[in-house]
Structure 1
Amino acid sequence: MEKLKTRLDAFSDAIIAIIITIMVLDIPPVLHDTVNNYLQLGKHVGIYLISFIFIANIWYQHSTAFGEIDTMTYRILILDMFFLAPLALMPLLTNMMAVNTTRVTVVMYGALQLLVTFLFRVLTRAIVHLEYEDEQAMRRAYAKIYGNANLLLDALAVVALVVGVFKPALALIFYLLYPVLMFLINANARQQMYDVAALPAAQQAEYADLDTAGRKAFREAQTTTFQATPPAAKPATHLPDTWAHWLDQNVDPRRRGRLQQRFDQATPEQQARMAAWFAARRQRSAPRGNGRAPRR
Protein backbone atom coordinates (compact mmCIF):
# COMPACT_ATOMS: atom_id res chain seq x y z
CA MET A 1 0.00 0.00 0.00
CA GLU A 2 2.98 2.33 0.44
CA LYS A 3 3.52 2.66 -3.31
CA LEU A 4 -0.19 3.10 -3.98
CA LYS A 5 -0.33 5.78 -1.28
CA THR A 6 2.42 7.70 -3.08
CA ARG A 7 0.48 7.44 -6.33
CA LEU A 8 -2.68 8.63 -4.60
CA ASP A 9 -0.84 11.66 -3.23
CA ALA A 10 0.32 12.55 -6.73
CA PHE A 11 -3.14 11.90 -8.18
CA SER A 12 -4.83 14.15 -5.62
CA ASP A 13 -2.30 16.93 -6.18
CA ALA A 14 -2.84 16.68 -9.94
CA ILE A 15 -6.62 16.87 -9.59
CA ILE A 16 -6.39 19.96 -7.40
CA ALA A 17 -3.91 21.61 -9.78
CA ILE A 18 -6.22 20.94 -12.73
CA ILE A 19 -9.18 22.37 -10.80
CA ILE A 20 -7.35 25.64 -10.22
CA THR A 21 -6.19 25.75 -13.85
CA ILE A 22 -9.73 25.28 -15.15
CA MET A 23 -10.98 28.11 -12.93
CA VAL A 24 -8.39 30.45 -14.43
CA LEU A 25 -9.34 29.44 -17.97
CA ASP A 26 -12.99 30.15 -17.19
CA ILE A 27 -12.25 33.85 -16.59
CA PRO A 28 -13.43 35.64 -19.76
CA PRO A 29 -10.94 38.09 -21.28
CA VAL A 30 -11.85 41.71 -21.93
CA LEU A 31 -12.40 42.15 -25.68
CA HIS A 32 -13.70 45.72 -25.64
CA ASP A 33 -12.28 48.52 -23.50
CA THR A 34 -15.28 49.63 -21.51
CA VAL A 35 -15.60 50.33 -17.81
CA ASN A 36 -18.34 47.75 -17.44
CA ASN A 37 -16.24 45.03 -19.06
CA TYR A 38 -13.35 45.68 -16.71
CA LEU A 39 -15.69 45.73 -13.73
CA GLN A 40 -16.98 42.34 -14.81
CA LEU A 41 -13.40 41.12 -15.13
CA GLY A 42 -12.69 42.31 -11.61
CA LYS A 43 -15.77 40.47 -10.38
CA HIS A 44 -14.67 37.24 -12.06
CA VAL A 45 -11.15 37.54 -10.66
CA GLY A 46 -12.49 38.26 -7.17
CA ILE A 47 -14.73 35.20 -7.17
CA TYR A 48 -11.88 33.14 -8.61
CA LEU A 49 -9.70 34.23 -5.68
CA ILE A 50 -12.39 33.12 -3.22
CA SER A 51 -12.36 29.64 -4.75
CA PHE A 52 -8.57 29.64 -5.06
CA ILE A 53 -8.11 30.35 -1.35
CA PHE A 54 -10.61 27.64 -0.44
CA ILE A 55 -8.97 25.03 -2.67
CA ALA A 56 -5.45 26.05 -1.65
CA ASN A 57 -6.40 25.58 1.99
CA ILE A 58 -8.00 22.21 1.21
CA TRP A 59 -4.80 21.17 -0.57
CA TYR A 60 -2.71 22.15 2.46
CA GLN A 61 -4.99 20.32 4.89
CA HIS A 62 -5.06 17.28 2.59
CA SER A 63 -1.27 17.21 2.21
CA THR A 64 -0.74 17.61 5.94
CA ALA A 65 -3.19 14.82 6.79
CA PHE A 66 -1.68 12.38 4.29
CA GLY A 67 1.80 13.34 5.44
CA GLU A 68 1.01 11.78 8.82
CA ILE A 69 0.76 8.25 7.42
CA ASP A 70 3.09 6.05 5.37
CA THR A 71 0.45 3.65 4.12
CA MET A 72 -3.32 3.62 3.76
CA THR A 73 -6.41 1.46 3.76
CA TYR A 74 -9.07 0.85 1.14
CA ARG A 75 -11.37 3.00 3.27
CA ILE A 76 -9.02 5.97 2.86
CA LEU A 77 -8.70 5.32 -0.87
CA ILE A 78 -12.47 5.27 -1.38
CA LEU A 79 -13.08 8.28 0.85
CA ASP A 80 -10.44 10.26 -1.02
CA MET A 81 -12.24 9.59 -4.30
CA PHE A 82 -15.56 10.66 -2.77
CA PHE A 83 -13.84 13.82 -1.55
CA LEU A 84 -12.22 14.67 -4.89
CA ALA A 85 -15.40 14.15 -6.93
CA PRO A 86 -17.39 17.13 -5.57
CA LEU A 87 -14.21 19.18 -5.25
CA ALA A 88 -13.84 18.88 -9.03
CA LEU A 89 -17.17 20.70 -9.38
CA MET A 90 -15.70 23.90 -7.91
CA PRO A 91 -14.80 25.40 -11.34
CA LEU A 92 -18.39 24.90 -12.54
CA LEU A 93 -19.99 26.49 -9.48
CA THR A 94 -17.38 29.25 -9.42
CA ASN A 95 -18.10 30.16 -13.03
CA MET A 96 -21.86 30.01 -12.49
CA MET A 97 -21.62 32.31 -9.49
CA ALA A 98 -19.34 34.74 -11.34
CA VAL A 99 -21.54 34.94 -14.44
CA ASN A 100 -24.86 34.98 -12.62
CA THR A 101 -24.55 36.05 -8.98
CA THR A 102 -27.99 35.19 -7.67
CA ARG A 103 -29.20 33.64 -4.45
CA VAL A 104 -29.48 30.28 -6.19
CA THR A 105 -25.91 30.16 -7.48
CA VAL A 106 -24.47 31.63 -4.27
CA VAL A 107 -26.29 29.12 -2.07
CA MET A 108 -25.32 26.27 -4.40
CA TYR A 109 -21.68 27.34 -4.13
CA GLY A 110 -21.90 27.49 -0.34
CA ALA A 111 -23.56 24.08 -0.22
CA LEU A 112 -20.73 22.65 -2.32
CA GLN A 113 -18.14 24.16 0.03
CA LEU A 114 -19.95 22.62 2.97
CA LEU A 115 -20.15 19.21 1.27
CA VAL A 116 -16.45 19.24 0.38
CA THR A 117 -15.53 20.21 3.93
CA PHE A 118 -17.72 17.47 5.40
CA LEU A 119 -16.23 14.79 3.14
CA PHE A 120 -12.74 15.99 3.98
CA ARG A 121 -13.50 15.64 7.70
CA VAL A 122 -14.66 12.07 7.14
CA LEU A 123 -11.45 11.38 5.23
CA THR A 124 -9.32 12.97 7.94
CA ARG A 125 -11.06 10.93 10.62
CA ALA A 126 -10.19 7.73 8.75
CA ILE A 127 -6.56 8.85 8.51
CA VAL A 128 -6.43 9.60 12.24
CA HIS A 129 -7.91 6.19 13.06
CA LEU A 130 -5.17 4.59 10.97
CA GLU A 131 -2.44 6.76 12.47
CA TYR A 132 -3.55 6.00 16.03
CA GLU A 133 -4.83 2.49 15.35
CA ASP A 134 -3.75 1.19 18.76
CA GLU A 135 -4.20 4.43 20.71
CA GLN A 136 -7.81 4.83 21.74
CA ALA A 137 -7.04 7.86 23.90
CA MET A 138 -5.63 9.78 20.93
CA ARG A 139 -8.75 8.99 18.92
CA ARG A 140 -10.90 10.42 21.68
CA ALA A 141 -8.61 13.43 21.97
CA TYR A 142 -8.97 14.01 18.23
CA ALA A 143 -12.75 13.87 18.47
CA LYS A 144 -12.77 16.49 21.23
CA ILE A 145 -10.14 18.82 19.79
CA TYR A 146 -11.42 18.87 16.23
CA GLY A 147 -15.04 18.61 17.32
CA ASN A 148 -14.77 21.93 19.11
CA ALA A 149 -12.72 23.44 16.29
CA ASN A 150 -15.36 22.50 13.73
CA LEU A 151 -18.25 24.03 15.66
CA LEU A 152 -17.22 27.56 14.70
CA LEU A 153 -16.66 26.58 11.08
CA ASP A 154 -20.06 24.89 10.88
CA ALA A 155 -21.74 27.93 12.39
CA LEU A 156 -20.03 30.21 9.87
CA ALA A 157 -21.05 27.94 6.98
CA VAL A 158 -24.69 27.96 8.08
CA VAL A 159 -24.64 31.75 8.48
CA ALA A 160 -23.14 32.09 4.99
CA LEU A 161 -25.93 29.99 3.48
CA VAL A 162 -28.61 32.00 5.25
CA VAL A 163 -27.02 35.28 4.23
CA GLY A 164 -26.74 33.98 0.66
CA VAL A 165 -30.51 33.61 0.48
CA PHE A 166 -31.12 37.26 1.35
CA LYS A 167 -27.86 39.05 0.47
CA PRO A 168 -25.93 37.02 -2.13
CA ALA A 169 -23.15 39.58 -2.54
CA LEU A 170 -22.57 39.76 1.22
CA ALA A 171 -22.29 35.98 1.43
CA LEU A 172 -19.15 36.15 -0.71
CA ILE A 173 -17.36 37.75 2.25
CA PHE A 174 -18.26 34.75 4.40
CA TYR A 175 -17.02 32.40 1.68
CA LEU A 176 -13.71 34.25 1.74
CA LEU A 177 -13.43 34.14 5.54
CA TYR A 178 -14.28 30.45 5.76
CA PRO A 179 -11.02 28.96 4.39
CA VAL A 180 -8.93 31.52 6.28
CA LEU A 181 -10.55 30.55 9.58
CA MET A 182 -10.34 26.89 8.64
CA PHE A 183 -6.60 27.22 8.11
CA LEU A 184 -6.02 28.99 11.42
CA ILE A 185 -8.35 26.83 13.51
CA ASN A 186 -7.07 23.55 12.09
CA ALA A 187 -3.47 24.64 12.54
CA ASN A 188 -4.16 25.28 16.22
CA ALA A 189 -6.05 21.99 16.58
CA ARG A 190 -3.24 20.08 14.90
CA GLN A 191 -0.75 21.65 17.29
CA GLN A 192 -2.88 20.48 20.20
CA MET A 193 -2.84 16.94 18.80
CA TYR A 194 0.95 16.99 18.61
CA ASP A 195 1.15 18.32 22.16
CA VAL A 196 -1.08 15.52 23.44
CA ALA A 197 0.84 12.91 21.45
CA ALA A 198 3.97 14.00 23.32
CA LEU A 199 2.44 12.88 26.63
CA PRO A 200 2.77 9.42 28.19
CA ALA A 201 -0.10 7.06 27.43
CA ALA A 202 -1.67 7.43 30.89
CA GLN A 203 -1.79 11.21 30.61
CA GLN A 204 -3.19 10.97 27.08
CA ALA A 205 -6.11 9.01 28.49
CA GLU A 206 -6.64 11.62 31.19
CA TYR A 207 -6.51 14.41 28.62
CA ALA A 208 -9.19 12.69 26.54
CA ASP A 209 -11.52 12.93 29.55
CA LEU A 210 -10.99 16.67 30.08
CA ASP A 211 -13.72 19.16 29.30
CA THR A 212 -13.18 22.38 27.36
CA ALA A 213 -11.99 24.33 30.40
CA GLY A 214 -9.68 21.49 31.37
CA ARG A 215 -8.08 21.35 27.93
CA LYS A 216 -7.53 25.09 28.01
CA ALA A 217 -5.88 24.79 31.41
CA PHE A 218 -3.74 21.95 30.08
CA ARG A 219 -2.47 24.06 27.18
CA GLU A 220 -1.58 26.87 29.55
CA ALA A 221 0.23 24.49 31.90
CA GLN A 222 2.08 22.79 29.06
CA THR A 223 3.09 26.08 27.49
CA THR A 224 4.49 27.24 30.82
CA THR A 225 6.25 23.95 31.51
CA PHE A 226 7.72 23.30 28.07
CA GLN A 227 8.41 26.87 27.06
CA ALA A 228 11.20 26.78 24.51
CA THR A 229 14.38 28.75 24.98
CA PRO A 230 13.99 32.19 23.38
CA PRO A 231 15.83 32.36 20.07
CA ALA A 232 18.92 34.48 19.68
CA ALA A 233 18.43 38.07 18.71
CA LYS A 234 17.93 38.57 15.00
CA PRO A 235 18.41 41.66 12.85
CA ALA A 236 15.39 43.90 12.76
CA THR A 237 13.06 43.48 9.81
CA HIS A 238 10.50 45.73 8.24
CA LEU A 239 7.75 43.46 9.55
CA PRO A 240 6.53 43.49 13.16
CA ASP A 241 8.25 40.86 15.30
CA THR A 242 5.09 38.82 15.75
CA TRP A 243 4.34 38.63 12.03
CA ALA A 244 7.97 38.05 11.10
CA HIS A 245 8.15 35.16 13.56
CA TRP A 246 4.90 33.65 12.28
CA LEU A 247 5.88 33.92 8.61
CA ASP A 248 9.34 32.44 9.12
CA GLN A 249 8.39 29.47 11.28
CA ASN A 250 8.33 25.96 9.86
CA VAL A 251 4.97 24.96 8.40
CA ASP A 252 5.08 21.58 10.14
CA PRO A 253 3.82 22.22 13.71
CA ARG A 254 5.89 19.30 15.00
CA ARG A 255 9.09 21.15 14.10
CA ARG A 256 8.19 24.47 15.64
CA GLY A 257 10.32 25.61 18.52
CA ARG A 258 7.31 26.86 20.45
CA LEU A 259 6.97 23.70 22.52
CA GLN A 260 9.01 20.60 23.07
CA GLN A 261 7.14 17.98 21.12
CA ARG A 262 8.65 14.86 22.68
CA PHE A 263 7.91 14.33 26.33
CA ASP A 264 10.75 11.87 26.74
CA GLN A 265 13.23 14.65 25.90
CA ALA A 266 11.93 16.84 28.69
CA THR A 267 13.85 17.29 31.90
CA PRO A 268 12.77 15.30 34.97
CA GLU A 269 11.54 18.54 36.52
CA GLN A 270 9.31 19.26 33.52
CA GLN A 271 7.91 15.74 33.55
CA ALA A 272 7.23 16.01 37.27
CA ARG A 273 5.43 19.33 36.83
CA MET A 274 3.09 17.93 34.18
CA ALA A 275 2.49 14.80 36.25
CA ALA A 276 1.67 17.02 39.23
CA TRP A 277 -0.77 19.01 37.10
CA PHE A 278 -2.69 15.86 36.14
CA ALA A 279 -2.59 14.65 39.75
CA ALA A 280 -4.07 17.95 40.91
CA ARG A 281 -6.80 17.64 38.28
CA ARG A 282 -7.64 14.14 39.47
CA GLN A 283 -7.79 15.31 43.07
CA ARG A 284 -10.12 18.20 42.23
CA SER A 285 -12.42 16.00 40.18
CA ALA A 286 -12.55 13.18 42.73
CA PRO A 287 -15.95 12.86 44.46
CA ARG A 288 -16.05 14.28 47.95
CA GLY A 289 -18.36 13.70 50.86
CA ASN A 290 -20.73 16.43 51.94
CA GLY A 291 -19.38 16.41 55.50
CA ARG A 292 -22.75 15.56 57.03
CA ALA A 293 -23.30 12.77 59.46
CA PRO A 294 -25.30 9.87 58.07
CA ARG A 295 -28.97 9.81 58.95
CA ARG A 296 -30.27 7.20 61.33
Structure 2
Amino acid sequence: MPRENQKSHPNREQRQQDIQDFIEKVRDEFALSYPELEGLSEKEAREVLEVLKNEEDIANKKRMKDHLEVFSDAVIAIVMTVMLLEIPIPSASVSFHEFRHSIFLFLVTFFLVADLWWHNHVAFDGTKTVSPKIVITQFLFMASLALLPVFTHWMMEEITFTAVFAYALIAIITNFFQWCLKYFILQERYANTIHTKEFVKHVSYRRLLNSIIISLIIIGLAKINPYIAFYFYLLSPVASFIRTLREPQEVLRPRFHLKRK
Protein backbone atom coordinates (compact mmCIF):
# COMPACT_ATOMS: atom_id res chain seq x y z
CA MET A 1 0.00 0.00 0.00
CA PRO A 2 2.70 2.58 0.84
CA ARG A 3 4.41 1.90 -2.51
CA GLU A 4 1.13 2.43 -4.35
CA ASN A 5 0.60 5.75 -2.54
CA GLN A 6 4.14 6.81 -3.45
CA LYS A 7 3.43 6.03 -7.11
CA SER A 8 0.07 7.80 -7.18
CA HIS A 9 1.41 10.90 -5.43
CA PRO A 10 3.86 11.84 -8.21
CA ASN A 11 1.15 11.14 -10.78
CA ARG A 12 -1.22 13.53 -9.00
CA GLU A 13 1.47 16.18 -8.83
CA GLN A 14 2.21 15.69 -12.49
CA ARG A 15 -1.47 16.15 -13.42
CA GLN A 16 -1.68 19.31 -11.34
CA GLN A 17 1.45 20.61 -13.03
CA ASP A 18 -0.01 19.82 -16.46
CA ILE A 19 -3.21 21.67 -15.57
CA GLN A 20 -1.21 24.64 -14.32
CA ASP A 21 0.86 24.69 -17.52
CA PHE A 22 -2.33 24.52 -19.60
CA ILE A 23 -3.84 27.46 -17.70
CA GLU A 24 -0.67 29.48 -18.22
CA LYS A 25 -0.76 28.78 -21.96
CA VAL A 26 -4.42 29.82 -22.12
CA ARG A 27 -3.55 33.05 -20.29
CA ASP A 28 -0.72 33.74 -22.71
CA GLU A 29 -3.00 33.17 -25.72
CA PHE A 30 -5.70 35.34 -24.12
CA ALA A 31 -3.16 38.12 -23.57
CA LEU A 32 -2.15 37.91 -27.24
CA SER A 33 -5.80 38.09 -28.29
CA TYR A 34 -6.48 41.10 -26.04
CA PRO A 35 -3.27 43.16 -25.81
CA GLU A 36 -5.27 46.10 -24.42
CA LEU A 37 -5.63 44.18 -21.13
CA GLU A 38 -1.88 44.11 -20.50
CA GLY A 39 -0.94 45.82 -17.26
CA LEU A 40 -4.52 46.15 -16.03
CA SER A 41 -5.83 44.93 -12.73
CA GLU A 42 -8.40 42.14 -12.61
CA LYS A 43 -11.25 44.61 -12.03
CA GLU A 44 -10.14 46.88 -14.86
CA ALA A 45 -9.70 43.90 -17.18
CA ARG A 46 -13.26 42.76 -16.47
CA GLU A 47 -14.62 46.22 -17.23
CA VAL A 48 -12.70 46.37 -20.50
CA LEU A 49 -13.91 42.88 -21.45
CA GLU A 50 -17.49 43.92 -20.75
CA VAL A 51 -17.10 46.92 -23.07
CA LEU A 52 -15.53 44.73 -25.76
CA LYS A 53 -18.34 42.20 -25.43
CA ASN A 54 -20.99 44.91 -25.83
CA GLU A 55 -19.22 46.28 -28.90
CA GLU A 56 -19.02 42.79 -30.39
CA ASP A 57 -22.74 42.22 -29.74
CA ILE A 58 -23.61 45.50 -31.49
CA ALA A 59 -21.38 44.58 -34.44
CA ASN A 60 -23.06 41.17 -34.71
CA LYS A 61 -26.51 42.77 -34.67
CA LYS A 62 -25.43 45.20 -37.40
CA ARG A 63 -24.22 42.29 -39.53
CA MET A 64 -27.50 40.48 -38.88
CA LYS A 65 -29.41 43.56 -40.07
CA ASP A 66 -27.39 43.64 -43.30
CA HIS A 67 -27.92 39.91 -43.89
CA LEU A 68 -31.64 40.26 -43.15
CA GLU A 69 -32.03 43.09 -45.66
CA VAL A 70 -30.20 41.11 -48.36
CA PHE A 71 -32.36 38.06 -47.63
CA SER A 72 -35.55 40.16 -47.79
CA ASP A 73 -34.54 41.74 -51.10
CA ALA A 74 -33.84 38.28 -52.53
CA VAL A 75 -37.26 36.97 -51.43
CA ILE A 76 -39.03 39.99 -52.91
CA ALA A 77 -37.11 39.61 -56.19
CA ILE A 78 -38.16 35.95 -56.39
CA VAL A 79 -41.79 36.86 -55.64
CA MET A 80 -41.76 39.43 -58.45
CA THR A 81 -40.24 36.91 -60.87
CA VAL A 82 -42.74 34.18 -60.00
CA MET A 83 -45.67 36.56 -60.50
CA LEU A 84 -44.30 37.59 -63.89
CA LEU A 85 -43.89 33.98 -65.00
CA GLU A 86 -47.51 33.27 -64.04
CA ILE A 87 -48.77 35.59 -66.81
CA PRO A 88 -50.13 33.43 -69.66
CA ILE A 89 -49.09 34.22 -73.22
CA PRO A 90 -51.97 34.78 -75.72
CA SER A 91 -52.60 31.59 -77.66
CA ALA A 92 -55.41 29.41 -78.97
CA SER A 93 -56.40 28.54 -75.40
CA VAL A 94 -55.68 31.96 -73.87
CA SER A 95 -57.62 34.95 -75.16
CA PHE A 96 -56.26 38.47 -75.27
CA HIS A 97 -58.83 39.45 -72.65
CA GLU A 98 -57.36 36.88 -70.23
CA PHE A 99 -53.87 38.09 -71.06
CA ARG A 100 -54.86 41.72 -70.40
CA HIS A 101 -56.57 40.73 -67.16
CA SER A 102 -53.41 38.90 -66.00
CA ILE A 103 -51.29 41.95 -66.81
CA PHE A 104 -53.55 44.19 -64.73
CA LEU A 105 -53.51 41.75 -61.86
CA PHE A 106 -49.73 41.49 -62.03
CA LEU A 107 -49.50 45.29 -61.82
CA VAL A 108 -51.80 45.30 -58.77
CA THR A 109 -49.60 42.82 -56.92
CA PHE A 110 -46.42 44.44 -58.23
CA PHE A 111 -47.30 47.81 -56.72
CA LEU A 112 -48.49 46.11 -53.53
CA VAL A 113 -45.14 44.33 -53.17
CA ALA A 114 -43.23 47.48 -54.17
CA ASP A 115 -45.10 49.46 -51.53
CA LEU A 116 -44.34 46.80 -48.90
CA TRP A 117 -40.68 46.75 -49.96
CA TRP A 118 -40.46 50.55 -49.66
CA HIS A 119 -41.96 50.56 -46.18
CA ASN A 120 -39.64 47.70 -45.19
CA HIS A 121 -36.62 49.62 -46.48
CA VAL A 122 -37.60 52.82 -44.64
CA ALA A 123 -38.30 50.84 -41.44
CA PHE A 124 -34.82 49.31 -41.42
CA ASP A 125 -33.29 52.72 -42.08
CA GLY A 126 -34.64 53.67 -38.65
CA THR A 127 -32.41 51.20 -36.81
CA LYS A 128 -28.76 50.18 -36.84
CA THR A 129 -29.25 46.80 -35.18
CA VAL A 130 -31.95 44.15 -35.05
CA SER A 131 -33.14 42.11 -32.09
CA PRO A 132 -34.30 38.46 -32.30
CA LYS A 133 -37.90 39.72 -32.07
CA ILE A 134 -37.42 41.84 -35.20
CA VAL A 135 -35.72 38.98 -37.05
CA ILE A 136 -38.60 36.56 -36.31
CA THR A 137 -41.20 39.16 -37.34
CA GLN A 138 -39.32 39.82 -40.58
CA PHE A 139 -39.31 36.10 -41.39
CA LEU A 140 -43.09 35.94 -40.81
CA PHE A 141 -43.52 38.99 -43.03
CA MET A 142 -41.43 37.41 -45.79
CA ALA A 143 -43.31 34.09 -45.51
CA SER A 144 -46.69 35.79 -45.97
CA LEU A 145 -45.31 37.94 -48.78
CA ALA A 146 -44.02 34.85 -50.59
CA LEU A 147 -47.61 33.50 -50.72
CA LEU A 148 -48.86 36.45 -52.77
CA PRO A 149 -48.04 34.83 -56.17
CA VAL A 150 -50.26 31.86 -55.26
CA PHE A 151 -53.28 34.05 -54.61
CA THR A 152 -52.41 36.27 -57.56
CA HIS A 153 -52.52 33.21 -59.81
CA TRP A 154 -55.88 32.28 -58.29
CA MET A 155 -57.36 35.65 -59.26
CA MET A 156 -55.80 35.29 -62.71
CA GLU A 157 -57.91 32.19 -63.18
CA GLU A 158 -61.17 33.77 -62.05
CA ILE A 159 -62.38 36.82 -60.15
CA THR A 160 -64.83 35.44 -57.59
CA PHE A 161 -65.67 36.43 -54.06
CA THR A 162 -63.62 33.52 -52.69
CA ALA A 163 -60.57 34.45 -54.76
CA VAL A 164 -60.78 38.15 -53.87
CA PHE A 165 -61.42 37.33 -50.20
CA ALA A 166 -58.39 34.99 -50.08
CA TYR A 167 -56.23 37.63 -51.77
CA ALA A 168 -57.48 40.28 -49.33
CA LEU A 169 -56.81 37.98 -46.38
CA ILE A 170 -53.19 37.28 -47.33
CA ALA A 171 -52.72 41.02 -48.00
CA ILE A 172 -54.09 41.82 -44.52
CA ILE A 173 -51.79 39.24 -42.91
CA THR A 174 -48.77 40.58 -44.81
CA ASN A 175 -49.57 44.17 -43.86
CA PHE A 176 -50.10 43.12 -40.25
CA PHE A 177 -46.66 41.50 -39.99
CA GLN A 178 -45.06 44.56 -41.56
CA TRP A 179 -46.94 46.76 -39.10
CA CYS A 180 -45.56 44.60 -36.25
CA LEU A 181 -42.07 44.96 -37.71
CA LYS A 182 -42.27 48.77 -37.87
CA TYR A 183 -43.86 48.89 -34.43
CA PHE A 184 -41.06 46.83 -32.83
CA ILE A 185 -38.38 48.92 -34.54
CA LEU A 186 -39.96 52.17 -33.35
CA GLN A 187 -40.42 50.86 -29.81
CA GLU A 188 -36.73 49.91 -29.63
CA ARG A 189 -35.69 53.19 -31.23
CA TYR A 190 -37.59 55.25 -28.64
CA ALA A 191 -37.08 52.83 -25.76
CA ASN A 192 -35.49 55.52 -23.58
CA THR A 193 -38.41 57.92 -23.98
CA ILE A 194 -41.87 58.01 -22.39
CA HIS A 195 -44.10 60.49 -24.22
CA THR A 196 -42.56 59.91 -27.66
CA LYS A 197 -42.89 56.16 -27.26
CA GLU A 198 -46.53 56.56 -26.25
CA PHE A 199 -47.19 58.89 -29.19
CA VAL A 200 -45.61 56.44 -31.64
CA LYS A 201 -47.72 53.62 -30.19
CA HIS A 202 -50.89 55.68 -30.62
CA VAL A 203 -50.08 56.56 -34.25
CA SER A 204 -49.13 52.95 -35.05
CA TYR A 205 -52.38 51.54 -33.65
CA ARG A 206 -54.41 54.15 -35.52
CA ARG A 207 -52.75 53.26 -38.82
CA LEU A 208 -53.31 49.55 -38.20
CA LEU A 209 -56.98 50.18 -37.48
CA ASN A 210 -57.38 52.27 -40.64
CA SER A 211 -55.73 49.56 -42.72
CA ILE A 212 -58.03 46.87 -41.32
CA ILE A 213 -61.14 48.99 -41.90
CA ILE A 214 -60.17 49.65 -45.54
CA SER A 215 -59.51 45.94 -46.11
CA LEU A 216 -62.87 44.98 -44.59
CA ILE A 217 -64.62 47.52 -46.83
CA ILE A 218 -62.96 45.99 -49.90
CA ILE A 219 -63.97 42.50 -48.75
CA GLY A 220 -67.55 43.76 -48.34
CA LEU A 221 -67.45 45.15 -51.88
CA ALA A 222 -66.18 41.78 -53.10
CA LYS A 223 -69.31 40.19 -51.64
CA ILE A 224 -71.44 42.57 -53.72
CA ASN A 225 -69.28 42.64 -56.84
CA PRO A 226 -65.82 40.99 -56.98
CA TYR A 227 -64.80 43.16 -59.93
CA ILE A 228 -65.38 46.37 -57.95
CA ALA A 229 -63.14 45.03 -55.17
CA PHE A 230 -60.57 44.05 -57.77
CA TYR A 231 -60.37 47.60 -59.13
CA PHE A 232 -60.11 48.96 -55.60
CA TYR A 233 -57.10 46.70 -55.14
CA LEU A 234 -55.80 48.06 -58.41
CA LEU A 235 -55.94 51.66 -57.17
CA SER A 236 -55.08 51.22 -53.47
CA PRO A 237 -51.47 49.92 -53.77
CA VAL A 238 -50.65 52.41 -56.54
CA ALA A 239 -51.98 55.34 -54.49
CA SER A 240 -50.14 54.13 -51.37
CA PHE A 241 -46.91 53.67 -53.32
CA ILE A 242 -47.09 57.16 -54.85
CA ARG A 243 -47.85 58.69 -51.43
CA THR A 244 -44.87 56.98 -49.76
CA LEU A 245 -42.56 58.07 -52.59
CA ARG A 246 -43.63 61.67 -52.06
CA GLU A 247 -43.22 61.45 -48.28
CA PRO A 248 -40.77 58.55 -47.68
CA GLN A 249 -39.98 59.39 -44.05
CA GLU A 250 -43.59 59.65 -42.92
CA VAL A 251 -43.47 56.07 -41.68
CA LEU A 252 -40.79 56.66 -39.10
CA ARG A 253 -40.90 60.38 -38.52
CA PRO A 254 -44.29 61.49 -37.25
CA ARG A 255 -45.11 65.13 -37.88
CA PHE A 256 -44.92 67.36 -34.85
CA HIS A 257 -46.76 70.60 -35.48
CA LEU A 258 -45.04 73.34 -33.51
CA LYS A 259 -47.09 76.40 -32.72
CA ARG A 260 -45.37 79.69 -33.16
CA LYS A 261 -45.67 82.08 -30.27
Same-fold call, TM cutoff 0.5: yes
Aligned to 2:253, the other structure's residue is in SS state: helix
Shift of 1:55: 0.3
Counterpart in the other structure of 2:67: 7
Letter paired with 1:73: S
Letter paired with 1:58: L
Counterpart in the other structure of 1:194: 253
Counterpart in the other structure of 2:218: 160
Instruction: Count residues with an aligned counterpart.
Output: 200
Counterpart in the other structure of 1:53: 111
Report the RMSD for the aligned CA atoms in angstroms.
2.4
The answer as to 2:133 corresponding to 1:75 is yes
Distance 1:19 1:148 in 2: 29
Matches for 1:112-261 after TM superposition, within 5 Å:
112-183=170-241, 184=243, 190-191=249-250, 194=253, 219=257, 221=258
CA contact (8 A) 1:157 1:178 kept: no
What are structure 2's unaligned runs of at least 5 residues? 1-60
Matches for 1:79-118 after TM superposition, within 5 Å:
79-118=137-176
Distance 2:254 2:200 in 1: 12
Distance 1:79 1:195 in 2: 23
Aligned to 2:89, the other structure's residue is in SS state: coil
Counterpart in the other structure of 1:265: none
C-alpha change, 1:25 and 1:185, in structure 2 (3 Å) is closer
Aligned to 1:12, the other structure's residue is in SS state: helix
Tell which structure's C-alpha radius of gyration is larger.
Answer: 2
Counterpart in the other structure of 2:85: 25
Distance 1:191 1:88 in 2: 26
Counterpart in the other structure of 2:19: none
Aligned to 2:119, the other structure's residue is in SS state: helix
C-alpha change, 1:193 and 1:137, in structure 2 (3 Å) is farther
Q: Deviations over 1:32-87 (max 9, x none)?
A: 3x9x7111100000011110010000000000000111111000000101111111
CA contact (8 A) 2:122 2:249 kept: no
Shift of 1:147: 3.1
Shift of 1:123: 1.1
Letter paired with 1:48: F
Counterpart in the other structure of 1:258: none
Letter paired with 2:89: P
Distance 2:221 2:144 in 1: 23
What stretches of structure 1 move > 4 A for 4+ residues in a row? Answer: 185-190
Aligned to 1:191, the other structure's residue is in SS state: coil
Structure number with greater CO (CA < 8 Å, separation at least 6) is 2
Structure richer in helix, relative to its length: 2
What are structure 1's unaligned runs of at least 5 residues? 197-217, 223-272, 277-296
C-alpha change, 1:191 and 1:123, in structure 2 (3 Å) is closer
Distance 2:251 2:188 in 1: 19
Counterpart in the other structure of 2:97: 39
Shift of 1:102: 1.2
Aligned residues with identical type, % of pairs = 25
